[in-house]
Amino acid sequence: MTPTRSETDNLLLRLWRNQESRAVIIQIVTMAILFAFIALIARNIVINLAAVGKEFSFNFLMWPAAYDITFSPFIEYTNQSTHLRAATVGALNTLLVAFFGIILASILGFTLGILRLSSNWLVNRIAYVFLEFMRNVPVLIHILALYSLIVVLLPPAKKAINIGDGTFFLSNRGFYVPSPVFESGAGIVGVVLIIAIVCVIGFKRWAKKVQNETGKIYPVFWISTAVIVGTTGIAFLATGMPLSWDMPVLKGFNFKGGMALKPEFLALWLALSYYTACFIAEIVRAGILAVSHGQTEAARAMGLRPNRTLQLIVIPQALRVIVPPLCSQYLNLTKNSSLAIAIGYMDITATLGGISLMQTGREMETMMIVMGFYLVISLTISAFMNWFNQRIKLTER
């Protein structure tokens, strides 16, 4: 029997009055509207591209790039390489400055945060003035100022500062260091190193379990260091020391050989690091102050020295407050690296989102790739920090 109109209306009314059903209906309608809006935008894009004689395609990635990239430490690149290879070089350069920037910013941030709580008035005030000045100047100004200082103050290549008796050279062309050359047998050493690291991780977990069950403490750091250094050293000697060094040598107006850290990379790396470190320092200071002072007094009553109290009692508890906002600073540093285009550092914004875009006229395609790249990197950092936050959070008994 076919349901009447009144019965259908009553059924819909009952579904709407049910809280769970109403929530599902609202979500379905919202998603339908969202997908319809996206489809409308996509349709307008296709129509507008067709109107100007363009097609939506990523074939341009296989075209020759026809421009130079001066800093490509990981893969070979020439101006005859494709736009895809140029984008890969730019992505690797972005990851390089983000990775080392996060490391240096974390070290400086934790150090400055602890110095801000120092009982020494002079140290406290110097740290305070440094933080307030650096935080209140735009990061782009820091990048431009530091780049200008490196280029202007450092000597030219022929008068480069010699460090380490001809091993390292510092000039306005960059910082030149020896480049490792791996020979036959280096792969075996690498495998041994990985195995040693895995064994150390297993030993650390076992030692922690023993400590929790019996209270016995093993010197984990020294044993781990001995295992990694010892096994890797033995493998290195047994395979005939398969490592040599390509030394930088001055030829003409520049250095040849070795590995060069360009002024653009140094300026961007240092500026992003100390700028972000200033915000991390305040996060660290807030995290330490959030730990009850009674914890410190209890540690002193047990005879722990101030540095051990900070290391074993205060910092582990403060991390639970520090980590969530710390993730935001890591994301800010990574995204701020796109300002590299201002000083000519060839990251993905400068390569694919800059020169490749202007040469090919593929605005939509290049910007989609660039935005997708930053989205993936940001989600990866967030996922790692969320995992780390779960690892250190308080567990109730």
- DSSP symbols for 189-216: HHHHHHHHHHHHHHHHHHHHHHHHHH--
Q: In the structure encoding, which two tokens stand for residue 161, read together?
A: 């500062």
pLDDT of residue 187: 85
Which amino acid is residue 80, in one-letter code?
Q
- What average pLDDT does the chain have? 85
Neighbours of 318 (CB within 10 A): 21
Report residue 308's pLDDT band, with 50, 70 and 90 as the boundaries. confident
pLDDT digits (tens, 9 = 90+) for 95-143: 999 999 999 999 999 999 989 888 888 988 999 999 999 999 999 999 9
pLDDT digits (tens, 9 = 90+) for 193-227: 999 999 999 988 898 888 778 877 788 888 888 98
The residues spanned by each domain of the chain are 83-158+263-392
Return the residue matching tokens 């490749």: 356
pLDDT of residue 3: 56
Question: Does domain 83-158+263-392 fall into CATH 1.10.3720.10?
Answer: yes
- Buried/exposed 58-95: b ≥16 CB within 10 Å, e otherwise: eebbeeebebebebbeeeebeeebbbbbbbbbbbebbb
pLDDT of residue 311: 75
